Structure 1
Amino acid sequence: MDFAQADALNQAIRLLSLRHRARAATLLAPLGLHPGQEALLLELDRTGPRIQAQLSEALGCEPPSVTLMVRKLEASGHVRRTQARGDKRASVVELTAAGKALADRVKQLWSALAEETVRGLPAATVADLPGVLAAMTANVDTRRRPVRGKDA
Structure 2
Amino acid sequence: MDFDRADALNQAIRLLSLRHRARTAEMLAPLGLHPGQEALLLELARTGPMIQAGLSEALGVERPSITLMARKLEAAGHVRRTPAPDDQRATVVELTDAGRAVADRVKELWCALAEETVAGLPAATVDGLPALLGTLTGNVDAKRRRAGG
TM range (shorter): over 0.9
Secondary structure of the corresponding residue to residue 89 of structure 1? strand
Identity level (%)? 76
Unaligned runs of 5+ in 1: 147-152
Cα shift at 1:137:
0.5
Q: Give me the whole-angstrom Cα distance separating, in 2, the residues matched to 1:52 and 1:141.
A: 22
Give CA deviations for 1:50-103 in whole Å, capped at 9, x if unaligned: 000000011110001000000000001100011112211000000000000000
Higher helix share: 2
The 3-state SS of whatever aligns with 2:77 is coil
Supply the RMSD in Å over aligned alpha carbons.
1.3
The residue aligned with 1:73 is 73
Distance 2:126 2:10 in 1: 20
Structure 2 counterparts to residues 29-40 of structure 1, below 5 A: 29-40=29-40
Instruction: Name 1:91's counterpart in structure 2.
Output: 91
Aligned pair count reads 146
- Residue in structure 1 matched with residue 130 of structure 2 by the alignment: 130
Distance 2:142 2:14 in 1: 17
Letter in 2 for 1:56: S
1:2-151 correspondence runs (5 A): 2-141=2-141, 145-146=145-146
Query: Any unmatched runs of 5+ in structure 2?
Result: none
Moved over 2 A (4+): 142-146
**In the TM superposition, what is the alpha-carbon distance from 1:144 to its structure 2 partner?**
6.9
CA distance in structure 1 between the aligned counterparts of 2:52 and 2:122, rounded to whole angstroms: 39
